[in-house]
A and B are shown apart, each in its own frame.
Chain A
């Protein structure tokens, strides 16, 4: 196999399939290496996540419709007990954020288990690329498509229930959202490495992690309702502080119902993002070795 000539890369920096084909026809095999390969992997794994949305349009409907049903039910509970109107908004925002938790749980954490079931995991590990890049691609693709779904839920929920917003700082709101997502998907990547070792129990564990997280992260009520220490422990899940900060920033009564101040929550979310992303990298490397050693990469116990 010939090495690539002095500068084999196009002006864009990353080889496209056409570049590869041309170089193959010219008798040379050029390939992306290093950060280019990493970037190419990220794009390649994010691609089906985004394009896949359009392939099965009914899924898009169900992904929006099902959380919206829960949102409506919880809104009517608050109406039945005559809760202040801002609580209706809390439910709408919380209901939209469930889409992200579902995405992290079922399409990030358990993804490597599904890939194992389908026989793709061994192929992923065989390829000369980084598993971290594959997970990052999954996260980026999932984040983009889930954001669109969450936005639709917020818009429809707000229209149905006439939710009034009073945004105090768009900059902080944007920062909180981005940091919460970074930390959340970092947590998802960490969890994905654990799922490398799981088998039949993966489905049940994901199923189990739904309601308890809805409860302790305060998806439908302010987290301040718990004692300080319960809220503090629950803050390990990035959506807890993310949701609390967002509510403080978009509702009039938000600051009075907030757990701690928004700047503190931003700092904690920064720390969680860094810790989770670094931990994901090391855990993935360790778990991959462990899974290979124990022969669990191709294991299929149904």
Chain B
């Protein structure tokens, strides 16, 4: 072997970048190459549309199809963007389960010269891409056929893009926390992401204003960053709809962004330290390659 051709990564930043890129590519292969592109496209479209259609029919039955009401756009857009929560947060934590239980490769990842946190976040990228397709299709369908009041000319694009980026980073950090926890709980790991996503769906006002929750449950919603994220996205796309509900009316866009940034930073710090802690415990207890075979 020619030693001059042997490539090693000295710079930690390029190590992160390489782990992230390769993991993103790997994740995309796992997500998409189980079938042909046509079937994969159908699969990516049907699931989110069916989920949205459940809410549309529920709403339509009660209101006799009054889709112009602000509450409809509130429900529809909240549900559409919530797809990202399941995709990014659960996607990252699911990589632990997938690699350990299904492919039985997690131990090899640990002996490879990669950064495991960057690797896990990279694995979430494929889910993010598939989720993005689902979000776009759901919103376009709503605008074209269900009178969801999104006017491209009236969208506050800078606010939308900033909110989206901060939100996705925040979800990735939350996913890393779940990935750390998943390292420790081999038997229940497949439920963790679904349980957290389900709880966030209920408490973050994704598909109904927080005022509908019993007053003693509302503080949980206010403590969750996803609540502020969805509010920002609604404000950027359909400002008048968000204004129709009093939940976060007292907070300006800047204040909401500041809260989001603060919570993202907090979750980022927690995720790094918690993941390292969980990883340490997992190594000590021999959980990195523990397979439950369930």
Contact = CB atoms under 8 A, between A and B. Distances in A.
B272 interface: no
A222 B57 CA distance: 10
A226 B54 CA distance: 12
A302 B54 contact: no
A213 B38 CA distance: 21
Contact of B58 (A66, A70, A220): A220
Looking at B57, B201, B294, the one whose CB has the most chain A CB atoms below 10 A away is B57
B207 interface: yes
Interface in A211-244: 211-212, 214-215, 219-222, 225-226
A79 B59 CA distance: 11
B35 A81 contact: no
Interface in A72-130: 72-74, 76-84, 87, 118
A59 B46 contact: no
Interface residues of A, number: 39
Contacts of A222: 61
Nearest to A302: B103
Contacts, number: 105
Contacts of B102: 302
A208 B194 contact: no
Interface string B45-86: 011001101110111111100000001000100000000000
Contacts of A84: 62
B202 A73 contact: yes
Nearest to B188: A58
B213 interface: yes
Nearest to B197: A69
A84 to B, nearest CB: 8
Interface string A189-212: 000000000001100100110111
B61 to A, nearest CB: 5
Contact of B62 (A72, A83, A204): A83
Interface in B135-178: none
Contact of B213 (A76, A87, A118, A207): A76
A65 interface: yes
B32 to A, nearest CB: 10
Q: Which of B43, B50, B60, B207 has the most CB of A within 10 A?
A: B50
A150 to B, nearest CB: 18
Given A69-B202, A201-B34, A80 B212 contact: yes
B75 A65 contact: no
Contacts of A214: 50, 54
A261 B187 CA distance: 45
B262 interface: no
B169 to A, nearest CB: 25
A25 interface: no
Contact of A66 (B34, B194, B209, B293): B194
Interface in A52-78: 56, 58-59, 62, 65-66, 69-70, 72-74, 76-78
Nearest to B213: A76
Nearest to A80: B208
B145 to A, nearest CB: 15
A88 to B, nearest CB: 12
B219 interface: no
B201 A77 contact: no
Interface in A252-282: none
Contact of A65 (B57, B62, B195): B195
A81 B62 contact: yes
A62 B50 contact: no
Given A79-B212, A201-B35, A62 B195 contact: yes
Contacts of B188: 56, 58-59, 62
Contacts of B212: 76, 79-80
A171 B60 CA distance: 34
Contacts of B201: 69-70, 73
A82 B198 contact: no
A85 to B, nearest CB: 12
Given A58-B188, A200-B34, 15 more contacts: A56-B294, A58-B191, A59-B191, A69-B199, A69-B202, A74-B58, A76-B202, A78-B62, A81-B62, A81-B63, A83-B61, A204-B34, A211-B51, A212-B46, A221-B58
20 contacts: A58-B191, A59-B188, A69-B198, A70-B198, A73-B206, A76-B202, A80-B209, A118-B293, A201-B34, A204-B34, A207-B47, A211-B46, A214-B50, A215-B57, A220-B54, A221-B58, A222-B61, A225-B60, A225-B61, A302-B102
